[in-house]
């Protein structure tokens, strides 16, 4: 026991702890005496004698005021502090045997059992002690129904035993006695949260925080807001915790930054991380996050500055090296990004790998494969996938499908067919193998076979995905009515807003291919009505209007929005360049479409657009090269993707340009 606590405890006793009929002078005298003996014992002065005298004095104080829960609690804590818990338990059990309604003995026994919930060296809660402690606190509340502390402790014990209804009743009893009791408010809020009513939990946490503002109370409230995805409120709450100058301010600032990111406020999130770095200049993780946020906002100069600072602090950190990959991709340097990722992979080659190292390498190889696929480097992508198989043969079925899709994307249909045949032989019932085979069949014009096999996968487990796949297969075969019906079925099975958005987007693309501009626009507008910043819908609608040479300024505005967020997306750059072309801004068109072709070199339409922009500026030789590449890409395309009218247009433009060169 510490002497500095004595004055406050005495005040507590004299003000509220005693009933009117207690012998206040005797209780006060013996309580003070107990503290004096306890202090002597703690200082090592004739310890055994002083311990015995302190216990006797506590007992005398309790005898003078038997209804004081605080006195019984202090005596029990004293027993535990001086390793006499067994003595306390024996005395309490003997007292209960003599008088089953001895509330002091029940309080002492309950506290002893709580102290034994997690024996030294044991993990988890001892279920026997949990049951005994709960029983004792239930007895205490029966004998003294106005003991708020007992109700709160009982609620906690019931919560630990997953008796949520019982815990709720106990906390409610405590709150009925003391409406602003912080422990009861926090406990009741926790039960609300455990039952899934996070809004009610947040309201209760807020009340507790307002009652006793502290970094801990505001953090609890912030956590509740995070659970209900009210990240702006969570950030505001963490700021209140920071205003109290807590010791864990750097960690709180990081938590604030995460909430701000989730709330979409990247500028303030950067400021929060800068606050961390101001206090801890060597915090490479915060510097990394700053760089990542600047990438997200499109400020690549500041992203690179933060990246350089992070590298200086921790040049060996793989996460920082990987951020360089992301930064290069964002800067529109995909080949440099691939080179950087390959260097990282080379640096972590091991003769053998732990489970964690293997999982990390597989993640990086998957990322490398996707980057190669985006650059139409199907062979390199397949090599990455094959290395994954060498590390983890258990994923062979999934990787086999990825290999088929890589060859399909690279327009290597012979290789794709060979891999697909092997996958189907080895995994005839694998969903991924069947779907990748169906996509290949549709590419090659075998739509009936593709849809027939895909329909067999409808089994009531994830039929929405199957109907979406069917819609895509039917669309490739220009069976538009069947595609529309499949999308209707997919929409029936779309319960989440994101699922519906996917259906609307695909339906908009379907109507566009059917050359029904009003219906296509209506579907894209539905997407934007729910998700105004949906990049895909803004770009598709903007490009569709541009391609039909209507409402060009509106179309340009949509495309510029997505370019602001993804300035190095090949598809978006092509849309922007094509809008400039339609508006007669040919130098700008050439610049944007050239960048698009560099980022997505295998797209015939982009190369065609590039030729159009070049010819308008009398760059005939360059236009010829662009149209030759477009024609080459069209001829390499899958039968289902070939558009003969577009091929003829390119061929005619190419012939005219060649004649112009000859003249």
Separation between Cα atoms, residue 507 and residue 494, nearest integer Å: 14
Q: What is the largest CA-CA distance in the chain?
A: 121
DSSP, residue by residue, 481-494: HHHHHHHHHHHHT-
- Supply the pLDDT for residue 2: 37
**Domain coordinates of the chain in residue numbers?**
508-662
Task: Please count the other Cβ atoms lying within 10 Å of the Cβ belonging to residue 532.
Answer: 10
Q: Are 58 and 65 in contact (CB under 8 A)?
A: no
- Supply the pLDDT for residue 22: 54
- Supply the pLDDT for residue 622: 96
Q: Are 2 and 40 in contact (CB under 8 A)?
A: no
- Supply the pLDDT for residue 134: 92
- Supply the pLDDT for residue 5: 36
- Supply the pLDDT for residue 18: 32
3-state secondary structure of 551: coil
- Supply the pLDDT for residue 3: 34
DSSP state of 4: G
- Supply the pLDDT for residue 608: 96
Nearest to 115, CA basis, from 94, 88, 143? 88
Query: What fold does the segment set 508-662 form as a domain?
Result: 1.25.40
Residues in CB range of 521: below 8 A, 6 or more apart: 508, 541, 544
- The stretches in the chain having pLDDT less than 70 are 1-22, 24, 27-28, 30-31, 34-35, 37-38, 41, 45-46, 54, 58, 62, 67-74, 76-80, 82, 119-123
- Supply the pLDDT for residue 50: 75
Residues in CB range of 423: below 8 A, 6 or more apart: 397, 400, 401, 404, 430, 433, 436, 437
Average pLDDT score, the chain: 88
- Supply the pLDDT for residue 220: 80
Q: What is the dihedral of CA 285, 290, 295, 296, to 10 degrees?
A: 100
pTM over 0.85: no
Q: Are 212 and 182 in contact (CB under 8 A)?
A: yes
Separation between Cα atoms, residue 408 and residue 308, nearest integer Å: 39
């Amino acid at each position: 026991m510490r002497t500095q606590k004595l004055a406050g405890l005495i005040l507590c006793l004299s003000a509220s702890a005693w009933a009117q009929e207690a012998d206040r002078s005797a209780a006060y005298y013996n309580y003070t005496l107990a503290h004096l003996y306890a202090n002597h014992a703690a200082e090592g002065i004739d310890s055994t004698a002083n311990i015995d005298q302190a216990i006797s004095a506590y007992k005398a104080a309790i005898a003078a005021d038997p209804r004081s829960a605080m006195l019984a609690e202090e005596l029990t804590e004293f027993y535990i502090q001086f390793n006499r818990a067994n003595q306390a338990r024996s005395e309490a059990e003997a007292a209960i045997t003599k008088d089953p309604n001895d509330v002091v003995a029940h309080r002492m026994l309950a506290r002893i059992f709580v102290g034994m919930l997690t024996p030294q060296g044991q993990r988890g809660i001892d279920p026997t002690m949990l049951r005994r402690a709960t029983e004792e606190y239930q007895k205490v509340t029966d004998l003294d129904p106005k003991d708020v502390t007992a109700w709160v402790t009982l609620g906690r014990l019931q919560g630990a035993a997953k008796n949520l209804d019982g815990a709720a009743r106990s906390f409610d009893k405590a709150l009925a006695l003391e409406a602003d009791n912080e422990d009861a408010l926090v406990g009741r809020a926790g039960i609300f949260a455990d039952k899934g009513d996070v809004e009610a939990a947040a309201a209760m946490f807020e009340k507790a925080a307002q009652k006793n503002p502290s970094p801990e109370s505001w953090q609890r409230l912030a956590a509740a807001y995070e659970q209900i995805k009210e990240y702006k409120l969570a950030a505001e709450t963490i700021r209140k915790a920071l205003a109290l100058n807590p010791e864990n301010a750097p960690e709180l600032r990081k938590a604030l930054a995460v909430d701000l990111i989730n709330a979409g406020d990247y500028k303030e999130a950067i400021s929060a991380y800068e606050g961390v770095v101001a206090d801890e200049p060597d915090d490479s993780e915060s510097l990394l996050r700053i760089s990542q946020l600047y990438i997200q906002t499109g400020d690549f100069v500041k992203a690179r500055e933060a990246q350089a600072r992070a590298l200086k602090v921790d040049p060996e950190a793989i996460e920082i090296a990987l951020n360089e990959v992301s930064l290069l991709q964002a800067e529109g340097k995909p080949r440099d990004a691939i080179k950087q990722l390959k260097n990282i992979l080379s640096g972590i080659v091991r003769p053998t790998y732990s489970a964690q190292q293997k999982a990390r390498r597989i993640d990086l190889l998957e990322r490398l494969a996707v980057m190669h696929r985006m650059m139409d480097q199907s062979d390199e992508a397949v090599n990455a996938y094959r290395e994954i198989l060498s590390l983890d043969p258990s994923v062979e079925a999934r990787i086999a499908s990825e290999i088929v899709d890589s060859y399909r994307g690279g327009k290597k249909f012979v290789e794709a067919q060979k891999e697909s045949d092997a996958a189907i032989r080895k995994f005839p019932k694998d969903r991924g193998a069947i779907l990748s085979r169906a996509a290949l069949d549709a590419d090659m014009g075998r739509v009936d076979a593709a849809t027939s096999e895909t329909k067999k996968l409808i089994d009531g487990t994830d039929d929405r995905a199957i109907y979406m796949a069917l819609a895509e297969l039917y669309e490739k075969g220009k069976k538009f009515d069947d595609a529309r019906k499949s999308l209707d079925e997919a929409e029936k099975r779309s319960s989440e807003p994101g699922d519906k958005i996917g259906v609307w987007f695909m339906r908009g693309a379907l109507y566009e291919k059917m050359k029904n501009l009003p219906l296509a626009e209506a579907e894209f507008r539905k997407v934007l009505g729910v998700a105004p910043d949906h990049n895909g819908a803004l770009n598709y609608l903007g490009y569709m209007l541009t391609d039909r040479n209507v409402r060009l300024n509106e179309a340009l505005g949509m495309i510029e929005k997505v370019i602001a967020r993804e300035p190095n997306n090949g598809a978006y750059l092509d849309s922007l360049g094509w809008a400039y072309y339609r508006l007669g801004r040919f130098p700008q068109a050439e610049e944007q479409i050239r960048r698009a072709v560099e980022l997505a070199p295998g797209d015939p339409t982009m190369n065609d657009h590039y030729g159009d922009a070049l010819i308008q500026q009398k760059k005939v030789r360059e236009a010829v090269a662009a149209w030759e590449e477009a024609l080459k890409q069209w001829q390499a395309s899958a039968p289902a993707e070939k558009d003969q009218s577009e091929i003829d247009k390119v061929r005619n433009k190419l012939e005219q340009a060649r004649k112009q060169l000859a003249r």
